[in-house]
Amino acid sequence: ARRWCVRLSCSATAMLVKSLLLLAWAAQASGQTETNTAILSDNDIIPEDIPPFTDQLPIVYLLLGPEATPLARAIVLPESACPELSFTSELSHLADTSVEVRNVGSASLPTAFPIKVCEAKLPNDIDLPAETITFGGRPLPAVHRNPERYVLMGDTGLRVKPKNNGFCQSPGSTKLYDIDQCDGLPPTSRSQFNESWVDGDFQALDDWPLESLSSLAAAEAPHAVVYVGDYLYRQGPCPYPNNAGADCTGINAPSFYELEGANLEYDFVPGNWGDNIYGWWADFFWPARDLLAAAPWIGIRGNHENCERAGHGWFLLISPHPLRKNWTIDTEGECDDFSPPWRVPFVNEQFLLMDDSLITPLNKGVDHFNYTEGACPGPAPEGEVLVPETQSRYEDEDQDDAEVTRQIGLYSGYMKTLEDWSQSHDTNFYASHRPLFAVACDGDHMNVLDWTMQQSLGPHTLDRVSAAIAGHMHWFEALSFENQGLPAQIVVGNAGTDLIKNYVNQETLPTIELRVGVDDAYTARVEAGITASVYGYSVMTRGANGYNIVAYGYNEASSQLEPFYDFSVPSGPRVPKEPCVPCGKRHRRKTLFASLPCCP
């Protein structure tokens, strides 16, 4: 059993500061020329219990990039030199490894990153033991060419999505971090706050377990972390009341902002939210620090890291790909909607990684389903199966059919690349933000996700894929299929952000048959499965014959983190290759092999 400790319940440190972030960005007529300035009121806010990022520099972490190349990164101030790499005697031959500047951000909001990010590429063909490399005086975690134990997790950020902070009578068309801002001038005092106007999703700091989960996962001594996206969920400030950690008000900070002409110009001390270093530090780097120090990360992009939300920080801080020449973080066009797939090959298994962050599902997807207790379908009658509904985007009148077709074509090409890469290993794991074969209830309808990626699959794309690992759905889900008819689906979107009570009837799962992809090319019946709306993470361990996955979750009765589900995934290939014989001009098929097909 693992001790559970919600962060603000375990730490009593708090300071009172006189400040309130009154953020209600205005969209004005294009002809306006005057400057409007908000006046701050004095209010006591109990701040979030974290140190400034400047007190923790250099911030050092290790990613696994394409071809399993270890990417050591360090965050320092813009004027600082990049930290030095130091090696013990057993790795002295690496002493000439260079440290390069990945990019230098700016203090200009909304994408304020007044930092320098430095990077060193380490060799990918040797083990790098723990305590043998330091970066800026901070030890790097060990790198294993043949890992045995992985932590699987995702969807960790504090969910703060303000539709109205209680100051706005008329939400407008201007967006900040993908949140509609307020028409008209911002308020000038607390007296203008109207609690009845408050609307949105506001997760309390006391109900956000990422820091504790990070510490507990680090204690598992993983060889690598597979993180399936959605690092940053704080899309705006938090409304009143101000009840310490019982709400999210502590993420706010003093602000000053002005409007000049038709353009918003940002010049404020930001709170701990948004696509800037303050938001990324508070929502990810600080609470995940123990796990970042414990193992290298395979970091995948989630839909909350799309360009409208936190995409600039994603490219600067986490993306495994090199930045384009002359890339600048505060230029809107420098955030790419799509990133190419990549792979992380190890000795025994390989991870095939997909960026599916931009997809807009039918009717906005799983976050907008109707979750009603008792509404989900029951088991199919004996001898029958329940076939979940696919989610064709062509049925969404708000989507452009041509764009949907374009995206399917793009992802089909990406899938072909992954299929080609999969030939190098018998066992492959497909990892993405959106699930390939997960189920969820929308009222009394059982649906299967994700349609766009299913339509992008070729007939043999997943033959050598043993399991698909994803997040996006804010619960844990695992599905295995009869005769390995499909890769096992593992959903680990339960590591911090506000959970969704999915209400799936567990007795229904073994009666489900999935029929997805072009012409239902991917069809299989569920053999066993579970959905569970519980905070936690999963650990995947390689054994002699395959991989054992154990899901850990918070037990409210015992106040401990405990294992609640485990299952096995056999080593690959999932679909063995059909025997064949060479059939070229220089090879003659012998009578013994006459019934076998020619090899491609």
Per-residue pLDDT tens over the stretch 459-499: 999 999 999 999 999 999 999 999 999 999 999 999 999 99
501 has pLDDT over 70 = yes
* Boundary-marking domain end, from 337, 366, 388: 337
For range 201-230, the mean pLDDT: 96
Q: Are residues 236 and 134 in the same domain?
A: yes
Q: Are residues 316 and 455 in the same domain?
A: no
3-state secondary structure of 153: strand
- The 3-class secondary structure across 179-220, one letter per residue, is EEEECCCCCCCHHHCCHHHCEEEECCHHHCCHHHHHHHHHCC
Structure tokens given for 271? 């709170």
For range 416-420, the mean pLDDT: 98
Look at residue 423 in the predicted model and tell me its pLDDT: 98
198 has pLDDT over 90 = no
Look at residue 192 in the predicted model and tell me its pLDDT: 66
Q: Are residues 322 and 372 in the same domain?
A: no
Q: Are residues 328 and 365 in the same domain?
A: no
Angstrom distance (rounded) from CA 99 to CA 25: 40
User: Domain of 297?
Assistant: 2-337
CA distance readout (Å), 525 to 216, 456, 513: 35, 21, 4
Look at residue 245 in the predicted model and tell me its pLDDT: 75
Q: Are residues 307 and 364 in the same domain?
A: no
Strand 224-227 relative to strand 297-299, pairing: parallel
Banded pLDDT at 27 (limits 50, 70, 90): very low
Look at residue 39 in the predicted model and tell me its pLDDT: 30
For range 365-390, the mean pLDDT: 96
Residue 267 Ramachandran class (φ > 0 left, ψ -120 to 50 alpha, else beta): beta
Q: Is residue 445 part of a domain?
A: yes
Q: Is residue 175 part of a domain?
A: yes
Interval 159-191: pLDDT, tens: 999 888 777 777 777 888 998 887 655 544 444
Structure tokens given for 305? 């890291």
What residues form DSSP beta bridges with 532?
476
Q: Is residue 583 part of a domain?
A: no
Contact 247, 260 (CB under 8 A): no
- Measured in whole angstroms, the distance separating CA 581 from the mean position of its chain's CA atoms is 44
Angstrom distance (rounded) from CA 20 to CA 33: 27
598 has pLDDT over 80 = no
Q: Give the count of domains, the chain.
A: 2
For range 410-433, the mean pLDDT: 98
Q: Are residues 303 and 368 in the same domain?
A: no
Q: Is residue 126 part of a domain?
A: yes
Interval 555-589: pLDDT, tens: 877 778 999 999 999 999 999 877 666 665 444 44
For 322-386, give the DSSP string. PPPTT--TT-GGGS-S----EEEE-SS-EEEE---TT---GGG-GGGS---TT-S--PPPTT--B
Say which amino acid occupies 78: P
61 has pLDDT over 80 = yes
410 has pLDDT over 50 = yes
Angstrom distance (rounded) from CA 434 to CA 455: 14
* Boundary-marking domain end, from 309, 337, 365: 337
* Boundary-marking domain end, from 308, 337, 366: 337
Instruction: Give me the count of residues in the chain.
Output: 600
Q: Are residues 299 and 424 in the same domain?
A: no
Look at residue 265 in the predicted model and tell me its pLDDT: 30
- The 3-class secondary structure across 372-384, one letter per residue, is CCCCCCCCCCCCC
322 has pLDDT over 50 = yes
Percent of the chain with pLDDT over 90: 70
Q: Is residue 328 part of a domain?
A: yes
139 has pLDDT over 70 = yes
Angstrom distance (rounded) from CA 536 to CA 154: 10
Phi, psi dihedrals of residue 427, rounded to the nearest 5°: -115, 120
31 has pLDDT over 50 = no
Q: Are residues 328 and 356 in the same domain?
A: no
Q: Is residue 499 part of a domain?
A: yes
Q: Is residue 586 part of a domain?
A: no
Q: Are residues 233 and 277 in the same domain?
A: yes
Q: Are residues 394 and 468 in the same domain?
A: yes
Q: Which residue has the higher pLDDT, 545 or 302?
A: 302
3-state secondary structure of 581: strand
Average pLDDT across the chain, whole number: 86
535 has pLDDT over 80 = yes
Q: Are residues 191 and 59 in the same domain?
A: yes
Q: Which residue has the higher pLDDT, 359 or 331?
A: 359
The mean-pLDDT minimum among 289-303, 406-420, 576-590 falls in 576-590
Q: Are residues 215 and 332 in the same domain?
A: yes
Q: Is residue 245 part of a domain?
A: yes
Banded pLDDT at 302 (limits 50, 70, 90): very high
109 has pLDDT over 90 = no
